A and B are shown apart, each in its own frame.
Chain A
Amino acid sequence: MSQPTAVLGVIGSDCHAVGNKIIEFALSQAGIHVVNLGVMVSQDEFIDAAIETGAQAILVSSIYGHGEIDCNGLRGRCMERGLDHIVLYVGGNLVIGKREFGEVEHLFKEMGYDRVFPPTVDLSNVAQCLKQDIAAAA
């Protein structure tokens, strides 16, 4: 199989730019072709980029605490626009305040994300999972 492609960006009105660059670097090092859309990316921009580049995955970051609002509905929108089998990941500081991570993970999985990551995640593990999930979805 050729190099997997993933679209990356920070969703909504979120301007936190540092983690985004680190993820791009780490995943590229791990052999994933990353299409990085930067910060303040709308749901449709993620999907536009995924369609044109034929990406197999979309990786959404939300750092500023509004993830619950911004990330909801992306799965449905992907289906609506013809991305039936795309892998969706989300990570960052997904909700405001202290909440059990298991609870947060459940919340985002309900929204249709395949995997949910806390800020402390090891990005080389993420790359491993991503390759497996892409292979399984194909």
Chain B
Amino acid sequence: MESVQIQQASKKDFDVVGKKVVRAGAVLAVLGKPSYTADIATGDLVYVKAVRSSCVHATIESIDTSRAKLLPGVLAILTSKDIPGVNDAGSILSDRPLLAEKVVRHYGEAVAIVVAETHQAAEEAAMLMDIAYTPLPSVTNPNDALKPDAPLVQERSNLVKHMKIRKGDVERGFSQSDLVVENTFKTEFVDGLPLETEAAYSYLEPSGRIACVCSMQNPFDVYGKVVKILGFEKAKLRMIQATTGGGFGPKSDETPIDVAAYACLATLKTGKPALAQFTRDEAMIIQCKRHPFIIKNRTGVTNDGRLLAWQSELIADTGAYVSKGHLVLGRAVFHCTGPYEVPNVKADGYCVLTNNTIAGSTRGFGSPQVHFAAEVQMDLIAERLEMDPVVFRAKNILRPGTRTLTNQRIEDPGLDMCFRKAVALSDWYHKRKQYEQHNKGTSRLKKGIGIALLYHGNTLGPESGDFATVHIAITPDGKALVETGLTDFGTGGMTSLLMVAAEVLGLPYEDVRMSRPDTGRVSDSGPTVASRVTVIGGRATFEAAEIIKNRLSRVAAERLACSESSLIFRAGNVYSNDKPERRITFRDLVVEAADRNVELKSVGYYLAPTTNWDEETGQGSPYNQYTFGAVVADVEVDTETGFIRVGQLTPVYDAGKVINPLGLLAVCEGGSIMGTGYGIMEKIVTSEGVIMNPNLHTYWIPTILDCPEIINSSTVESAGQIGIFGAKSIGEIPIVLPAAAIANAISWATGVKIREIPMTPDKILAAIMNVK
């Protein structure tokens, strides 16, 4: 195996990486031909619809299909008994059946599927199913679920995981503190809500293999589960990612497994191509949500603003099945103090089962909740200390040489750089004065400005399995084809990989293409989660490209009569650095290499270093590197209506070496708005476990009118330790801070204390009334 060396970011000039690459044809690609799952589905289709539980927690006494079966067009009705393989659709833990067997544990859980000739027939038949339930006692409040006499959601303790941090001596820290501040924060279930709902289309190939096209983030995860559900040997199934209309976490979790399995079971049963797609309300009921957290933060500080002790208790409601709840809790606990050095920390996090909707992967993965609680806590302390929040933070931020709550040493100055830049760009000190003046002169429209900071451990870290595989093949026309099971769903991650391949091979960006992720063509590439495509996938791409470059170098050195080490690959040409007139085009070189039977296909593999920490104390280094960020929010509060207008957001991120600047900017803008929605609008309303607002007219996501007038995004570059060319993660991160920055701005403008999101007008108004 040829070995490769990653070059240091700062020392190299790049031709493609870091340049503004427009995804040419991106719009036409979407408009020009069918590309999303349901668009592709053709032929003599059958439609699959799940029959869902109307109960929150109940025993299934009987399932009577007789009325439904009689409906014209109904081809089959399948229950858990008809699953040929294993009835398991849990993504990591096998705790969730594809179709409920004896018990349903949450509202909307699937009990059967109907296969019919038309969508309408499938829907009608689903309504004609007679299922008898006997209700069981249910628990929908995580605090109640932890009580000893609580009803059990599964045949196990409702407490799924208890995570601990023990650093220093927190009690001594409190006793040495001049001030101890304690607050309880609450966040809600929200829906990632990709605009395309979950969809899968399956069909029989002539060989007898089933092919399944699906809207998803992780083809290999879905493949691995569906193969088992079907009871197939591996070669009898192939999973292909269609163009995917948004991911945001839910499409990396369990619902893509559901739709893929529904469609494949229908194809297996009928021999016909099948389409399974969630309706919007179904998606909003079933899709995994962001975990609601109850977070108690108790913090001790000295009068001059040094953090001495931090104690957190975090309770995460993961709903009826664990999904990724235990991992979300891990990330939450590992970031619960915010990006500050605190000598004494004690944290206890609990991931709890309830009979609520399932919470799982959602963009940010536990980080938005804890950063909201930590960053609002920081402002509440600053207020008590009568200190400017910027001054207070500056005394405590993670700088090189400081240590996190897990006692991990921070090596790079990214946070300080972001912090300074955000303060300068937002004109913080001047605005504070200006708004203070303004607010004295007005009683209705108050202006505020608030700040929040973050750190975000990169890629999977403690969630493990942090690897990527990328294949590259050079085609006879001298272009490169990059293939991987990593995916893009609007994130621009694949563009970054193509840029890395183009950079290494010295090709113009246009000469590097990508194929659709297909488990039949590539090897397991690891999941597309945790903002890891550029950082980890970039390393695998680099390796694959280097292998080919090295092979081509041997041919070129002979042909140009120069040393391999003197060769430069650039802009579609290969030449000797010593004698630049000795050159050959990349294309001619490929032809020559092919004549000599040089293998022009490669597989690049990268596995991130394993991270280590102690289970009992949480001490160690859970992540290989950290992304840092700062966001300043300018808001206006209408104190008569409680309505918030976010005028400007100033997000500054340290994404290390920026590979794809346009992609990064796009992700920042989109994430900023999603984070604003999280802060001031979005909430899945439940009543005893039943979702009351599974639609877009009562669950509000930001529209074009809700956007801040200005999003002044920028970056600083402080190289990461493992990412390709020093890159750090960014995909999920812009969602994290807006809620906290907006909350802090509102509090400062009005004097209200905010400890819960979303900050909807009714809540703001009630809080203002309280202050008065």
User: Bound pair: A and B?
Assistant: no
Q: Please list the residues of chain A having a beta carbon within 8 angstroms of any beta carbon in chain B.
A: none
